[in-house]
Each structure stands twice: as C-alpha cells, then as structure tokens.
C-alpha cells in the first residue's frame, strides 16, 4: 500500500538510512561545529533527526542536544542507540519551545521544505523564535539548479535491492517517487530554494543569510553540479 507524501516509512529507513559512513557523518558534523563552535553554541536543536545520526555525533562532541522527529519508530530506534541526546516525538509544525531556548538549530538531510510555501515559512519562523539573539539555523537542502538539470528516471542500487526513482521539478518544487522491489511506492516533495530565495525568506522571518555553499564547505560556492546546498542563517534580534 502506498504511503502519503513525505511520510518516511520503516522501509525507507532500511534502504537509505543504514550503512552511512562515519566519514560522511564527520564531514557534515564538522561543518556544523565550524559554524556553531563551542562554547558559544552549546545548546543544539536537531530537527527531523530520524534515528539520531547527527544528534549522537554532536552529543559525543560535548554539545547539549535536543532532537525531534514526528516518527515515533525513528525516535524509539534513536533512543535504543543512545549516545546522550534528549529525544522528543514532535511534529515541527506544532513544536514550539520557549523563545531563545537554543543557541542553534540544525535541519539536515533535506528535511526542510516538505510543506506548502506558507507552512514552510511558518516552520522557519518557529525555528527563528527558538534560537537566541545571534543564534544560528543551519539548513542542508536540495539544490534546485542540480535537479532542474537532472530530472527523469533512474535505478538506485542499494544493499537491499534496486529502487526505481522518478523525479521532476515543477513550479519550484521537487517531486520524487520511489518504487521498491516489492512494488510498494513512496512519494516525496519539497519546496526548493536558490540562495536568493532563501535570503528573501530568511529576511521575512527576522534572519540573516550568512553562508550559502556546497559540499559542507563554507568556502565552496554553490554549484549546479552538487545536489545539496547548505545555508547558515543568523537571528538578527
């Protein structure tokens, strides 16, 4: 049976969220640590944390981490794996901590933009309120230029079998359909943001765009050759 769009099933986690190398995690976490260095950025909120890969790594490097995800099964697995973070089952559309509760918020793995434009703006507004003055929001998102140039169908060879992926871009949104070997399907979609669009959105919710880059390297300018973009936003007041 098909699942609703943007609902990550246990099957998705089994195919795409296992076997991620320590080197990849370290590269991503080093980017966060460089942008939000200790001791100034001690308290971190990890949004859409999944099974806690980034939360555990940051906790192991002396950050105090609260990690949220709307999927109770993913949170249960994250708690089993331990590692120090405080895990909370919560939907970001409803989660509203006290203003200024965190020094920084991270949203990794393309987990921002799942909703309509108004809801995405509201989510970013909530995150902006969650960080203190001069606090940071770090986003790891899909790159619109890459996906506009790389639409269509392909086969993804995973350790559990071949998954067929169909993706396309329409009116600034990326649509992805996955078909698993057993015939089940999942659908995902995201609002895409160029650096200019993110700058405009950030300004609308009281944030300032500090960094736009590729490859988890703040010195690497965005390129259409890379499927991912990283943004670092600062709360102005």
Tens of pLDDT along the chain (237 residues) come to 344 456 677 777 777 767 778 899 999 999 999 999 999 999 999 999 999 999 999 999 999 999 999 999 999 999 999 889 999 999 999 999 999 999 999 999 999 999 999 999 999 999 999 999 999 999 999 999 999 999 999 998 888 889 999 999 999 999 999 999 989 999 999 999 999 999 999 999 999 999 999 999 999 999 999 999 999 999 987
CATH numeric code, 10-142+194-235: 3.40.50.150
What pLDDT is stored for residue 3 in this prediction? 42
Residue 93 CA, distance from chain mean position: 15
What pLDDT is stored for residue 6 in this prediction? 67
How far is the C-alpha of 108 from the C-alpha of 6, rounded, in Å? Answer: 15
Beta bridge partners of 158: 161
Residue ranges per structural domain of the chain = 10-142+194-235, 147-186
Q: What pTM did the predictor assign?
A: 0.93
What pLDDT is stored for residue 193 in this prediction? 98
How far is the C-alpha of 72 from the C-alpha of 181, rounded, in Å? Answer: 25
Q: Which among 125, 140, 135, 133 is positioned nearest to 44, based on CA atoms?
A: 135
Number of Cβ within a 10 Å radius of residue 195? 17
Three-state SS letters, the chain = CCCCCCCCCHHHHHHHCCCCCHHHHHHHHHHHHHHCCCCCCCEEEEECCCCCHHHHHHHCCCCEEEEEECCHHHHHHHHHHCCCCEEEECCCCCCCCCCCCEEEEEECCCCCCCCCHHHHHHHHHHHHHHEEEEEEEEEEEECHHHHHHCCEEEEEEECCEEEEEEEEEECCEEEEEEECCCCCEEEEEEECCCHHHHHHHHHHCCEEEEEEECCCCCCCCCCCCCCEEEEEEEECC
Strands 131-142 and 161-170: unpaired
Number of Cβ within a 10 Å radius of residue 139? 23
Please name the residues in contact with 92: beta carbons below 8 A apart, sequence gap of 6 or more. 47, 48, 68, 70, 123, 126, 127
What pLDDT is stored for residue 5 in this prediction? 52
């Amino acid at each position: 049976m098909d699942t609703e769009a943007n609902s990550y099933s246990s099957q998705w986690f089994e195919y795409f969220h296992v076997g991620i190398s320590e080197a990849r995690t370290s590269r991503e976490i080093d980017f966060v640590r460089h942008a939000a260095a200790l001791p100034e950025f001690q308290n971190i909120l990890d949004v859409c944390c999944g099974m806690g890969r980034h939360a555990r790594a940051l906790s192991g490097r002396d950050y105090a981490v609260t990690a949220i995800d709307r999927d109770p099964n993913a949170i249960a697995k994250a708690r089993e794996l331990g590692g120090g973070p405080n895990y909370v089952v919560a939907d970001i559309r409803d989660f509203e901590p006290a203003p200024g509760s965190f020094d920084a918020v991270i949203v990794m793995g393309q987990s921002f933009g799942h909703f309509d434009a108004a809801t995405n703006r509201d989510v970013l507004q909530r995150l902006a309120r969650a960080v203190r003055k001069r606090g940071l929001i770090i986003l790891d998102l899909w790159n619109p230029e890459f996906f506009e140039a790389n639409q269509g169908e392909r086969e993804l060879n995973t350790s559990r079998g071949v998954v067929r992926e169909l993706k396309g871009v329409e009116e600034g949104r990326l649509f992805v359909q996955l078909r698993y070997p057993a015939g089940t399907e999942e659908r995902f979609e995201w609002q895409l943001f160029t650096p200019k669009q993110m700058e405009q959105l950030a300004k609308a919710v009281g944030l300032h765009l500090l960094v736009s880059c590729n490859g988890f390297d703040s010195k690497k300018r965005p390129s259409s050759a890379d499927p991912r973009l990283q943004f670092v936003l600062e709360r102005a007041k």
